[in-house]
Amino acid sequence: MRDMNQEPIHLIIKLDGEETQLNAKKEETTDGISFFKIEQEGKLITQVRKIDSKWEQLWGDLHQQQIDEIGAALDREED
């Protein structure tokens, strides 16, 4: 299992049909809830967290399918 609290995780996923490289950084809220900041080319595009085995967007304008793709990639990295 990767320690996701240290350096950004490099993800390659398909967004809008194109292979895209994203960086994910694990953070925590002040009450200890984990979430990920997702960047594309150095720009923050969304923040996501997993609740009851479903990935949800906290901030950003991505569609649920895109959030699911990012979440699936994060799940693979945690294994």
Q: What are the tens digits of pLDDT across the range 11-52? A: 999 887 889 999 999 999 888 889 999 999 999 999 999 999
Is 39 within the bounds of a domain? Answer: yes
Q: How many domains does the chain have?
A: 1
Give the domain extent around 50.
Answer: 9-78
Distance CA 61, CA 54 (A): 17
Structure confidence at residue 16 (pLDDT): 78
Strand, coil or helix: 66: helix
72 within domain boundaries: yes
End-to-end CA distance of the chain: 5
Instruction: Inform me whether the pLDDT recorded for 4 exceeds 60.
Output: no
